[in-house]
Structure 1
């Protein structure tokens, strides 16, 4: 099962189980020319024997999925369902998915955090803007993975426990680091490039009758933080829709976190009941800070999504993001009111 140790990430980045380095270096030119025939030949050339694929380590299987995925997305971008063109790839993708305990397609982890840097970088376009987006994913995903333990603490500790406040403080600091990385990326990469040039490479690929979206590097998987801070007992259909789309494509450890804590008691609920005064005050302050950063991060993300030339519908990324942002802000407001009310009541009693 895939975890988060840095040595494993480095092993995946270094691995080239398909011997794909030279061939994948030519993919940006194939895409520039919309050379479907060459891309089809490349995918067929890289598909390994099933027996060989079944023997790879988890890390080797992840690297192989990463490399096949670049060709899946490239063919799809040019209007071809890759497994219709190269059907022998299907059983291999299923083997790799089972081996890594992930979906039978590449995800944002394959495309960013597990992607080698420098000359070996796997890329659709070879454009510097794409490299910047991939670097943003390499910076953000480990930070968000590091929040899982603290999110789990928040769901099981009481607000008066000093560890509760410390966990919330660490979550807030990691959200701040995520927001800083996003700010840098927004300054360097235009929404138009993402929407018009890169997004078509993330279109859905049919795998055994099921449509799997591509590894969009612009997605921010913040849902574990949502669950711990407010959503496990305060979500609505819009947030449920986000979870339905994102959880299946997460790492095994992230999906395990969701299964364990989706029906827990959120930090907002715990502190709304306690009032965030006395021994609970440090936790209330840390939670307020985390929610403030989270709403700012989502507002910035929404602005970027809305600047991209793409129609907004009730199920579009912008509409779902707006709904989740509104819910986050509502919980932040509710916490502030509960804290102020309890503080005022305590002062009056004194």
Structure 2
């Protein structure tokens, strides 16, 4: 599939083009969506989905950015219908070929992802929301804030993957990646302060259930689709992970941008930055014989990992509260991961952080 947006996926121009688009004339319906959901009006939701569906001739006329916006708006109805107990493609079978074609045109899965729901969502009165609650808006804004920084961070990760820890650029790149990952701390602190775990677990989480399309299940928008896992892959995961996390990553890959999938394909079997750092210290003969440049690389990589550990610790705290047995409605997160997996990934990230940190100390 080869479909290019107005500008590169993730660029400011492309984000604005998709946010401003309303190719299906969905603004009015989306403004009423919180009311329809509050009333559990399945008939109105089903009718709205059927009314918004474009024909194939109309889809052929849309730009790629307009196709993304169309998936965004149809997706809000898909998630709403599923939340109220029905499979949307069963109630409106004609949605299936349209979604498949929109997925083909955009080179993405044939339903909405966290990017459609948060990053490509308009602001102000045109904001698409399931509930209209300010807490939902806060969660969407948290992902919007992180996206451009992580997107840039992945470009830097590609450079880091090609750079030896003995090169002075390694430390520079790792420091810049750390700055980009750090924005996730800002976002999660806002979520901790402003979003109730009970609101997420019992009110919002049901809208993110998977749907069945043509015999295949597709997850709904999920924070797990934000590609910190790709940073993990370059920094430590490619050769220092566990099977459960690697499977979770493989399940998450299809929900990313085409570029992210390409990066994953190139990084999957590459030596991680942590492994390459250890090999460089071995070649140098240990800390005492390693040069200042290599020690700087270790310190910068340790910084990335410390930031990731801090984020994962806070994320684990939120998730543990939202998925307590007395609170949760579902045993797994909307991205398909368990609380136990989150904890194990936190421990692994911390372990690799210590490995890099030890190389910044004499005798490491």
TM-score (norm 1): 0.94
Contact 2:299/2:357, CA 8 A, preserved across alignment: no
1:215-254 counterparts in 2 under 5 A?
Answer: 215-217=221-223, 220-254=226-260
1:122-271 counterparts in 2 under 5 A?
Answer: 122-217=128-223, 220-271=226-277
Please give the per-residue CA displacement for 1:61-107, whole angstroms capped at 9, x wherever unaligned.
00000000000000000001001000111101001101110000000
Q: Which residue is 1:6 aligned to?
A: 12
Which is worse superposed, 271-280 or 201-210?
271-280
Aligned mate of 1:290, from 304, 325, 328: 304
Q: Which residue is 1:46 aligned to?
A: 52
After TM superposition, give the deviation of residue 281 of structure 1 in Å: 1.5
Please give the per-residue CA displacement for 1:159-200, whole angstroms capped at 9, x wherever unaligned.
121221111001111111211111112110011111100000
After TM superposition, give the deviation of residue 216 of structure 1 in Å: 2.5
Distance 1:130 1:313, change over 3 A: closer
Q: SS where residue 44 of structure 2 aligns?
A: helix
Q: Which residue is 2:342 aligned to?
A: 321
Distance 1:143 1:217, change over 3 A: same
Q: Is 1:74 paired with 2:80?
A: yes
Q: Which residue is 1:331 aligned to?
A: 352
Contact 1:238/1:323, CA 8 A, preserved across alignment: no
Q: Is 1:344 paired with 2:358?
A: no
Which is worse superposed, 272-281 or 176-185?
272-281
Q: Distance in 2 between matches of 1:218 and 1:189?
A: 17
1:9-48 counterparts in 2 under 5 A?
Answer: 9-48=15-54
Please give the per-residue CA displacement for 1:145-165, whole angstroms capped at 9, x wherever unaligned.
111111111111101212211
Q: Which residue is 1:348 aligned to?
A: none
Please give the per-residue CA displacement for 1:269-319, whole angstroms capped at 9, x wherever unaligned.
111122364121211111111101101100100000000123767975311
Q: SS where residue 111 of structure 2 aligns?
A: coil
Q: Distance in 2 between matches of 1:292 and 1:101?
A: 35
Which is worse superposed, 169-178 or 73-82?
169-178
Q: Distance in 2 between matches of 1:288 and 1:168?
A: 9
Q: Distance in 2 between matches of 1:79 and 1:227?
A: 37
Q: Distance in 2 between matches of 1:78 and 1:213?
A: 16
After TM superposition, give the deviation of residue 54 of structure 1 in Å: 2.4
Q: Which residue is 1:60 aligned to?
A: 66
Contact 2:42/2:84, CA 8 A, preserved across alignment: yes
Q: Distance in 2 between matches of 1:260 and 1:313?
A: 29
Q: Distance in 1 between matches of 2:100 and 2:68?
A: 12
Which is worse superposed, 266-275 or 252-261?
266-275
Contact 2:225/2:255, CA 8 A, preserved across alignment: no
What value does the CA root-mean-square deviation take over the aligned residues?
A: 1.7
Q: Which residue is 2:284 aligned to?
A: none
Distance 1:142 1:171, change over 3 A: same
Q: Distance in 2 between matches of 1:30 and 1:103?
A: 26
Distance 1:219 1:182, change over 3 A: farther
Please give the per-residue CA displacement for 1:105-157, whole angstroms capped at 9, x wherever unaligned.
00000000100011000110111110111111110112111111111111111
Distance 1:316 1:151, change over 3 A: closer
Contact 2:298/2:359, CA 8 A, preserved across alignment: no
